[in-house]
Amino acid sequence: MIQAPKGTFDIFGNKAVSYRNLEGIIHDLCVRFGVTELRTPTFEYTELFHRGVGETTDVVQKEMYTFSDAGDRSLTLRPEGTAPACRAYLEHGMGSLPQPVKLYYISSFYRAEKPQKGRYRQFQSFGTEYFGSTDPAADAEIIALGWELFRLLGITGVELRINSIGDRECRLKYNTELREFIGSQLDRLCPVCKERAATNPLRVLDCKEEGCKRVLNDAPDILSTLGPDCKAHFGKVLGFLKAMGIPYTVDSRIVRGLDYYTKTVFEYISSDLGSQSALGGGGRYDHLMETIGGPSVPAVGFGIGIERLLIALEAQQAEQAAQIPPVVFIGAIPSQTNFAAGLTHKLRQSGISAQWDISGRSLKAQMKAADKSGARYSLVIGDDEAASNSATLKEMATGEQTTMILDKLTEFLTRKV
Ligand code: HAM
């Protein structure tokens, strides 16, 4: 038996309905915020992620699905959506549109991570990216958009943790302080941290090893090294959040796992997710566009994992309606299956959700299936019904029966739904 690759899964039945409902809610929400959809290719030139996401990140060093095509070009299945969104912005000259340009996507992403609950090798993420505004109001609006999604879905117990990791100048100062601290603790840190201390000290703060975490509790606080501009920016973001009634916790240990962030960084943490507790995360990334060869374009965005949202929904038993039941189930005796096929098709063309038997079951078994399907009405086509073009419609919940000319059925059902 060939199975789906490790860390991947099929989506069907009730799960597919949950995905679809969730996607619908997200699309509507984005319309309300004036954010338009972006769809990018599943794979990009590898260089985009090397330059965009950062050579020293786990994603680029260990997790990318990279391959060469027949022309020996190196391609990578997208591990995230921000670098592709920047590439698309540049490629289509979106800089000449009125700014900010506000884009969102719901796409699949690929990371060769160790699979566990909430962590897969193919997953879906809802991402939003705002391009062309340096204003803290853009950071706050993005954060509010994610927050509104949780409210709409009825997901409670989400905590917004927010931090500022400053701009390039603040970071230079902070990196020096952090390197000094790490240097003094080197023998207590894991080999990966030791290596990162030289290449990208901020990454050290992201280490998940318990021993390292204990040591890093005493690391210098990044917020205390912020320059006046970054401090003011952060203060304004927090002010907007307060004005919008969005509760937050300032957490100077939030640094994010990707290299492109500047100033604001944040995560939405849920207590229902176990060890993969981040429902989503994001931040400002004012230099990514230049890193991939474009002009300077300030930007801010987030990514929220669709599977993690569904886990949180399930944990809170707020899962969206499962399979949507048909309005009517049409049963037929064996000699009238053509009639049932024609009637069902006609109802569907008129926008009515109708089911009929496509398994060659007995009439008794068909009626059992009608019951199971949760249909609101059922009717049976026998020889008499076909000849008179009329049938008795039964309301399943009450047993109430109505005989009617079948030509009137669409009109009747449309009124009832
Ligand atoms: P990220 O934190 O790497 O950020 O991913 C965003 C979200 O995707 C995570 O919070 C999580 O919910 C989900 N996710 C990540 N990896 C997995 C996985 N292996 N399995 C299941 N879900 C996963 C980014 O990707 C940034 N591009 C976000 C961003 C947009 N920053 C600015 N704009």
DSSP 12-44: -HHHHHHHHHHHHHHHHHHHHTT-EE----SEE
- Give the 3-state secondary structure of 4-15: CCCCCCCCCHHH
Q: Please answer whether residues 240 and 140 qualify as being in contact, where contact means their C-beta atoms are separated by less than 8 angstroms.
A: yes
CB of 282 shorter than 6 A to ligand 1: yes
| Tens-level pLDDT at each residue, the chain (417 residues) | 999 999 999 999 989 999 999 999 999 999 989 999 999 999 999 999 999 999 888 899 999 999 999 999 999 999 999 999 999 999 999 999 999 999 999 999 999 999 999 999 999 999 999 999 999 999 999 999 999 999 889 898 999 999 999 999 999 999 999 999 998 998 899 988 888 888 888 888 888 888 998 999 899 999 999 999 999 999 999 999 999 999 999 999 898 888 899 999 999 999 888 877 899 999 999 999 999 999 999 999 999 999 999 999 988 865 444 456 789 999 999 999 999 999 998 998 888 889 999 889 999 999 999 998 889 999 999 999 999 999 999 999 999 999 999 889 988 988 876
Provide the 3-class DSSP secondary structure of residue 298: coil
pLDDT for the residue 132: 96
Nearest residue by C-alpha to atom 12 in ligand 1: 305
CB of 113 shorter than 6 A to ligand 1: yes
pTM of the model: 0.83
The pLDDT tens digits for 209-264 are 889 989 998 999 999 999 999 999 999 999 999 999 999 999 998 988 888 999 99
Nearest residue by C-alpha to atom 9 in ligand 1: 280
- H or E element: which one contains 70? none
pLDDT for the residue 208: 82
Among the atoms of ligand 1, which is closest to the Cα of residue 280? 10
Q: Are strands 278-284 and 262-270 parallel, antiparallel or unpaired?
A: antiparallel
To test the pocket of ligand 1, the residue of 125, 139, 266, 268 to mutate (highest count of ligand atoms within 8 Å of its CB) is: 125
CB of 326 shorter than 6 A to ligand 1: no
| CA dist list (Å): 29 to 32, 35, 37 | 5, 9, 12
Handedness of CA 13, 14, 15, 21 (dihedral sign): positive
To test the pocket of ligand 1, the residue of 62, 111, 121, 308 to mutate (highest count of ligand atoms within 8 Å of its CB) is: 308
pLDDT for the residue 319: 45
Of the chain, the end-to-end C-alpha distance in Å amounts to 44
Among the atoms of ligand 1, which is closest to the Cα of residue 256? 2
Helices (H) and strands (E) in the chain, counts: 16, 16
Go through the chain and tell me how many residues it has. Answer: 417
Q: Please answer whether residues 57 and 111 qualify as being in contact, where contact means their C-beta atoms are separated by less than 8 angstroms.
A: no
Nearest residue by C-alpha to atom 18 in ligand 1: 119
- Strands, sheet with 249-250, edge to edge from the N-terminal-most edge strand: 36-37, 101-110, 122-131, 299-305, 278-284, 262-270, 158-164, 249-250
The CA 344 to ligand 1 mean position distance, Å, reads 44
pLDDT for the residue 349: 83
